[in-house]
Structure 1
Amino acid sequence: MITITDRLAQTLDRIKLAIDKYHRVPDSVTLLAVSKTKPNSDIITAYDSGQRDFGENYIQEAIQKIQALSSSHNDIVWHFIGSLQSNKTADAATHFDWIHTIEREKIAVRLNNQRSDALPPLNICIQVNISQESSKSGVLLSDVDTLAELIHSLPRLALRGLMAIPSSIDDEQKLSIEFSSMQSAFKKLQARYPNVDTLSLGMSNDIELAVKHDSTMVRVGSAIFGKR
């Protein structure tokens, strides 16, 4: 029976092979293990296998996990990758290290105001609706600069880069166009803000394509923890 440890190793091998294939710098892609709906025991298993970055979609579920593991596994880096509503920003600002899904100025300002001075700046990625689907969150590429400028000006936030969820289709040509657009937007943002270093792009089914297009962080759930 294949285990979480086995699947984690297989996923890391996929990333390494893609890095080698596309002549990326070794260790330039971080694996974000998406642990939403999974029990603490699964997180601990992945942790014991060397995983440190974990992604959660639901604030209340995530806080329970963070609090339960904070003393015994205090070097976990917690990423929020779900839709963030105004009434949840205080919890997000208090408990997470990263927020990947910023699309509104209001949410950015609230996170900044609610982040404690005792904590390091909250790492922020702007979510881009690269497929321009009405069912998906995120700003248009044309709105990235305005939101980036605001986030950069907020002292308790650290603008780190961009995030996107591409079209859910089995069409590599179309996906390549979307990924290329994100790659270009990322380079443009890097040129403007030297501290920008993160392109959160790619999931279980498209790791290789994401690495090809300069992704620095892939978000993988089912390939590690199994289907929900």
Structure 2
Amino acid sequence: MEQAAPSSPLGNVIARIASAAKIAGRKAGDVTLIAISKTKPADAILDLIDQGQRVFGENRVQESQEKWPAIRAAHPDVVLHLVGQLQSNKAEEAVALFDCIHSLDRPSLVTALAKAQDKLGKRVPCFIQVNIGAEAQKGGCAVADLPELLAQARDAGIDVIGLMCVPPAGIEPAPFFALLDKLADDHGLTQLSMGMSDDLEIAVQLGATYVRVGSALFGSR
């Protein structure tokens, strides 16, 4: 297995994470890079795997079902995260395919995921997605609804490991990342899925444990 060259897109992103972690007094290894491979062909994904990347993220269940079984058969150590919105009727397929789900955001999905996990005998760690900017067009639970949703998920036997957010576009993201960090701390959660290609340094400095990077690795869509 090759290692990413420092001048490659993957090497550059890894260096950005390491630099931001150092500024914050953190270890680079405390932050997991999720390569967001939605809409990207298998060849582009395999190229990153050859460079050492092992954690990938997809937005849609159907697209993932079409390309990932063959990739994972050849590379069983690859970890696959679902970072996009999840319809309740796709919960069983998502539990079967993914190793982690970042978009738990409503009671109906809690019910669907719990039922799917029980049926398949598989526990999939989940992040609760918080609509941190109270944007009507975005998924995620309202900040005020987080305590109740978290309690429902825990009661249903879902392993909630952290919180996820997508801050409003075009606005300084730091206050939103800081709020997500505080919410996680208030509820005893240690994992934060936040930060993308343009703002990963800020996210890492404010506590991100997972950053979701697409365009900086694969180029514009």
Aligned to 1:129: 131
SS state at 1:205 partner = coil
Mapped contact 2:91–2:112 kept (Cα < 8 A): yes
SS state at 2:73 partner = coil
Which ranges of structure 1 fall in alignment gaps of 5 or more residues?
191-195
Match for 1:35: what amino acid? S
Mapped contact 1:161–1:189 kept (Cα < 8 A): no
Aligned to 1:193: none
CA drift at 1:137: 0.8
Mapped contact 1:127–1:138 kept (Cα < 8 A): yes
SS state at 1:139 partner = coil
CA drift at 1:98: 0.8
- Deviating more after overlay: 21-30 vs 158-167: 21-30
CA drift at 1:212: 1.4
Aligned to 2:162: 161
Of the three residues 9, 12, 20, the one matched with 1:10 is 12
CA drift at 1:118: 6.1
CA drift at 1:123: 0.8
CA displacement 1:45-73 (0-9 Å, x = unmatched): 11111111110011111012221112111
TM-score, reference length from structure 1: 0.90
Match for 2:168: what amino acid? S
CA displacement 1:176-213 (0-9 Å, x = unmatched): 221211111111122xxxxx331000000001110111
Distance 2:34 2:20 in 1: 16
Say yes or no: does 1:182 pair with 2:180. Answer: yes
CA displacement 1:19-68 (0-9 Å, x = unmatched): 00111134111000000000111111111111111100111110122211
| Identical amino acids, percent of aligned pairs | 37
Mapped contact 1:94–1:116 kept (Cα < 8 A): no
Alignment of 1:143-158 (within 5 A): 143-155=145-157, 157-158=158-159
Mapped contact 2:126–2:159 kept (Cα < 8 A): yes
Match for 2:175: what amino acid? I
Mapped contact 2:31–2:211 kept (Cα < 8 A): yes
Aligned to 2:219: 226
Alignment of 1:38-77 (within 5 A): 38-77=40-79
Match for 1:31: what amino acid? L
TM-score, reference length from structure 2: 0.92
Structure 1 residue runs of 4+, over 3 Å off? Answer: 116-120
Match for 2:50: what amino acid? D
Distance 1:119 1:219 in 2: 28
Distance 2:199 2:36 in 1: 15
Say yes or no: does 1:200 pair with 2:193. Answer: yes
Distance 1:8 1:160, change over 3 A: same
Aligned to 2:80: 78
Mapped contact 1:125–1:159 kept (Cα < 8 A): yes
How many equivalent residue pairs? 217
Which ranges of structure 2 fall in alignment gaps of 5 or more residues?
none
